[in-house]
C-alpha cells in the first residue's frame, strides 16, 4: 500500500505553544504523524510518496472561498491588527455562542466567525500544513482512481470536523471531504468515519448530497465532543435524505460490541454500492487513548480493517485522530495490513 506523507505538517508546531505568556498543552502534535510514519516504515508497508499539488480548486469545491482566504491570511491579519505576530485563537470560549449572521469586518469578529471552537490555533505555517494535508488526501485519491485497491493519506492536521466555512476540533480543511468530492466525478462515494468523535464537518458538507453516503460510528455526543452533532435522527436533507447514518455509542465500547455496530454500517455501505469508499481512520477509539474512552485493542483494529477491506471497494484511507503515541503506529499498521493483497 502507498502511504502519502509530507513533513510540512511540522510547520503547525503545536507542541511548543505559548499563548499570553502561558504554555498550552495540545494533544494534536507533530509527534502523532511521526509515530505512524515510523511504524509504516518499520513494517515495510509499501512506498511512501510525497503529495502532488492539486492547487486550490479541489479545496474550494468543498470550502467557502472567503473561508479559505481567511485561513490563508489569518496569521498576517492578526499581526497587522494587534501589531505583533502571535497565534490566532478565538476570543470567545463557548462553542454554543450564536454565530453572527454575516462575517464581521473587523479582525476579532472574523476570527470568531470562522471557527466554532476555541482551542485550535492558527500559527504562521498552519495554512501550509493544512493545505498539504489536503493534498495528501487528493494524491491518495488519485492512486485509487488509477487502479490501486487502497491508498493511505497520512494527514496532519486532521480534517473531519472542518465545516464548509468554519474550523474546529483540530481540523482546518476537511481532507476526506476534499478527496471524496474529487472522486465524485467518477460516481457516488461512501464515507465511513470510525473516529471516536463524530465527523460533523463531513456530515455538514454532504448532508443534502444524493451522490454521497455518510456513515459514522462515534461516542455519544450527549457526553463527548462535538456535542451538537452526531445523533441517530440526523438522516440527511433534501435529495440526500436517508443517506446520513450515525451510530452514537456508549462510552467504554469494547471490540465485540463495536464490531456488531460496524457490521450494521458495512451492510448500509454494501447496499449503497459506491464507486469509491473513503475511510476517516480515527485511532482515538483505541484502548487507553488520551482523549477517547473506547477500548478498541490492536486486535480489534485488525478485525475492523479486515471487515472494511472485505467490501472490496476501491478505498481511500484518511488519517484523523489518535493520541496515544505508544500504540498509535501499531494500530495504524495493523489496520492498514488488512488491505494488502
Q: What is the pLDDT of residue 63?
A: 98
DSSP per-residue letters across 221-285: TTTSTT-SS--TT----GGGTT-EEEEEE-TT-BHHHHHHHHHHHHHHHHHH--SEEEEEE-GGG
Closest CA to 245 of 261, 256, 257: 261
Active site annotation includes 9: no
How many contiguous H segments (helices) and E segments (strands) does the chain have? Answer: 10, 10
Map residue 211 onto helix, strand or coil: coil
Helices 255-272 and 298-309: angle between axes, nearest 10 degrees: 20
Q: Describe the chain by its helix, strand, coil percentages, rounded to 5.
A: 40, 15, 45
Candidates 161, 198, 218, 245; catalytic one: 161
Question: What pLDDT was estimated at residue 97?
Answer: 58
What sign has the CA pseudo-torsion 215, 197, 332, 155?
A: positive
pLDDT at 287: 97
**Dihedral angle of Cα 108, 227, 265, 140, to the nearest 10 degrees:** 20
**Centroid of chain to Cα 227:** 17
Tens of pLDDT along the chain (341 residues) come to 999 999 999 999 999 887 777 788 889 999 999 999 999 999 999 999 999 999 999 999 999 999 999 999 999 999 999 999 889 988 755 555 578 888 999 999 999 999 998 789 999 999 999 999 999 999 999 999 999 999 999 999 999 999 999 999 999 999 999 999 999 999 999 999 999 999 999 999 999 999 999 999 999 999 999 998 999 999 999 999 999 999 999 999 999 999 999 999 999 999 999 999 999 999 999 999 999 999 999 999 999 999 999 999 999 999 999 999 999 999 999 999 999 86
Helix (H) or strand (E) holding 4: strand 2-4
User: 319 preceded by cis ω (within 30°)?
Assistant: no
Distant-in-sequence, close-in-space partners of 98: CB < 8 Å, separation ≥ 6: none
Predicted pLDDT of residue 16: 81
Q: Say what the pLDDT of residue 224 is.
A: 94
Query: Residue 129: which residues within 8 A CB-CB, separation 6 or more?
Result: 8, 9, 10, 11, 12, 156, 157
Q: What is the pTM of this model?
A: 0.96
- Residue entry with cell 498539504: 132
Q: What is the pLDDT of residue 165?
A: 96
Position 272 scores a pLDDT of 98
Domain boundaries, the chain: 2-66+126-337
Q: How far apart are CA 91 and CA 116, in angstroms?
A: 11
| Domain 2-66+126-337 superfamily per CATH | Histone deacetylase domain (3.40.800.20)
Amino acid at each position: 500500500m502507498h502511504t502519502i506523507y509530507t513533513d510540512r505538517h511540522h510547520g503547525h508546531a503545536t507542541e511548543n505553544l505559548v499563548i499570553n505568556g502561558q504554555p498550552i498543552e495540545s494533544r494534536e502534535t507533530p509527534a502523532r504523524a511521526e509515530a505512524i510514519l515510523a511504524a509504516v516504515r518499520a513494517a515495510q508497508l509499501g512506498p511512501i510518496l510525497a503529495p502532488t499539488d492539486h492547487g486550490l480548486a479541489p479545496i474550494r469545491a468543498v470550502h467557502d472561498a472567503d473561508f479559505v482566504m481567511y485561513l490563508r491570511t489569518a496569521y498576517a491579519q492578526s499581526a497587522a491588527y494587534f501589531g505583533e505576530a502571535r497565534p490566532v485563537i478565538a476570543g470567545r470560549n463557548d462553542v454554543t455562542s450564536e454565530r453572527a449572521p454575516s462575517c464581521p469586518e473587523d479582525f476579532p469578529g472574523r476570527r470568531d466567525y470562522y471557527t466554532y471552537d476555541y482551542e485550535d490555533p492558527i500559527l504562521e505555517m498552519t495554512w501550509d500544513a493544512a493545505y498539504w494535508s489536503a493534498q495528501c488526501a487528493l494524491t491518495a485519491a488519485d492512486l485509487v482512481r488509477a487502479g490501486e485497491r487502497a491508498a493511505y493519506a497520512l494527514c496532519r492536521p486532521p480534517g473531519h470536523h472542518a465545516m464548509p466555512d468554519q474550523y474546529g476540533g483540530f481540523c482546518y480543511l476537511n481532507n476526506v471531504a476534499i478527496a471524496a468530492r474529487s472522486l465524485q466525478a467518477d460516481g457516488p462515494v461512501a464515507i465511513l468515519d470510525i473516529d471516536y468523535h463524530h465527523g460533523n464537518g463531513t456530515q455538514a458538507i454532504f448532508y443534502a448530497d444524493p451522490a454521497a453516503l455518510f456513515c459514522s460510528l462515534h461516542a455519544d455526543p450527549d457526553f463527548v465532543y462535538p456535542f451538537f452533532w452526531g445523533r441517530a435522527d440526523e438522516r440527511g436533507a433534501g435529495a440526500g435524505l436517508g443517506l446520513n447514518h450515525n451510530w452514537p455509542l456508549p462510552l467504554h465500547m469494547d471490540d465485540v460490541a463495536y464490531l456488531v455496530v460496524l457490521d450494521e454500517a458495512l451492510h448500509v455501505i454494501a447496499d449503497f454500492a459506491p464507486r469509491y469508499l473513503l475511510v476517516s481512520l480515527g485511532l482515538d477509539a483505541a484502548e487507553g487513548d488520551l482523549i477517547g474512552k473506547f477500548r478498541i485493542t490492536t486486535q480489534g483494529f485488525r478485525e475492523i480493517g479486515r471487515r472494511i477491506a472485505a467490501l472490496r471497494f476501491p478505498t481511500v484511507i484518511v488519517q484523523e485522530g489518535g493520541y496515544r503515541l505508544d500504540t498509535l503506529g501499531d494500530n495504524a499498521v495493523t489496520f492498514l495490513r488488512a488491505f494488502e493483497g
